[in-house]
Amino acid sequence: MVRVQHEIQGIGMSEIAARYGTPFYVYDGENIKRHYQRLRKCLPECLEIFYSLKANPNISICALLKSLGARAEVSSLAELMCALKAGTDPRNIIFLGPGKRMEELQACLEHRIYAVVAESLQELELLDKICAERKSGMRVAIRINPSFEVKGARLMMGGRPRQFGIDQDQLEQASAFLASLKNISIIGFHTYMGTRILDEEEVAHNTLNILTMAENLARLLKIELEMVDIGGGLGVPYYDGETSIDPVALGERIAPHIQAFHERHPETRIIMELGRYLVAESGLFVARVLYTKESCGEHFVITDGGTNCHMAAVGIGSFVKRNFPIRNLSNTAGNEKLTCNITGPLCTPSDLLAKAVTIPKAEPGDLIGIENSGAYGPSASPVFFLSHGYPAEVMVLNGEVHLIRERDTYSGILDRMRLIPL
């Protein structure tokens, strides 16, 4: 796919910085469109794409993806309301997560979303009770923690002890319990194996396993399969040596499994949930260099936006610090290169956006850009550390710059606090 450049649709990053200040995230709306449409074309038609808002919960991102045909997978009340406000048809919303609160379950019922994905036997019982009290039905899917091991995921969500879903063998023993739930309709199964899968064959392998498991469980538990959610977890390359998923190859590998299942169950909705894959590569994080200095022989570039805005760049989950693609957006000529550590404003040595990267020499005032930053950005970062707050978020669409989230201000942050009389 086209990489995000220091100009997006002809708009320079310095222009956006001048208008909205730094640090900020900028999303290339046209790139999101191209990327989505390319994937859509490659996947079997009967496979529905649900956008996992968790990856980037901004309402304009959600609305853009919705306008392209994406449905929504949400995990909190705010995400649910965001998807609805973005115009998503409730029949195209599912709600999942291991710790749903009562008011969230009630909201699912109230807004008549397509399905709640239950993650424990207790949750099933609670849902049944809520429906009994309200004299209303509800479609419920069950998230399975499968007995088989997932292939290819960088972060495992199933196939081992996890707080997610119900163990496959526990569910297999639970047919009497399920039959006792008279007020909800169990409509199918969900499995999310893990994230950052970069191998098409492994996605296909997982898909086949999940579809087969769903069929077997439905038979065993006498459930009419109205939906199967095969998860997703498609990755994007962040580090050297990683390569993108090829949507054509992905489509070719999974189509036979999806089609065969679809022929056996023509009425069953088949859902794929994608977060990162839909947005990551269309986002750029931009921070301004405040100072440069040397310490014990190493060069440091200190910016106004560190891991408080972009925790993912730290590379959680790996023992060796690996760098996201990072560039000096102001000095693209790059005559003089320098190996440096790029840090932020936090008072901790772990505030390290990049370690020992070689980029064109940075000066105070330069803009530093981290690519592939459209997913798990500020919403997955400790934005309140040192009370800096949320950075600005901007989308470029059809050649125009739109502010899609205002930067937090100190007064906004202070307003949330209460000064008690002493």
The site for ligand PLP (CB under 6 A) is made up of 52, 54-55, 96, 192, 195, 231-233, 273-277, 375
Yes or no: say if 159 and 150 are a contact pair by the CB < 8 Å rule: yes
Between 31 and 343, CB nearer to ligand PLP = 31
For residues 342 and 320, give the distance between their C-alpha atoms in angstroms, rounded to a whole number: 16
Shortest distance, position 54 Cβ to ligand PLP, whole Å: 5
Between 193 and 287, CB nearer to ligand PLP = 193
Residue least distant from ligand PLP (Cβ): 275
Shortest distance, position 235 Cβ to ligand PLP, whole Å: 7
Shortest distance, position 52 Cβ to ligand PLP, whole Å: 4
Shortest distance, position 415 Cβ to ligand PLP, whole Å: 31
Between 273 and 351, CB nearer to ligand PLP = 273
Between 195 and 343, CB nearer to ligand PLP = 195
Shortest distance, position 1 Cβ to ligand PLP, whole Å: 16
Between 273 and 393, CB nearer to ligand PLP = 273
Between 232 and 251, CB nearer to ligand PLP = 232
Shortest distance, position 166 Cβ to ligand PLP, whole Å: 14
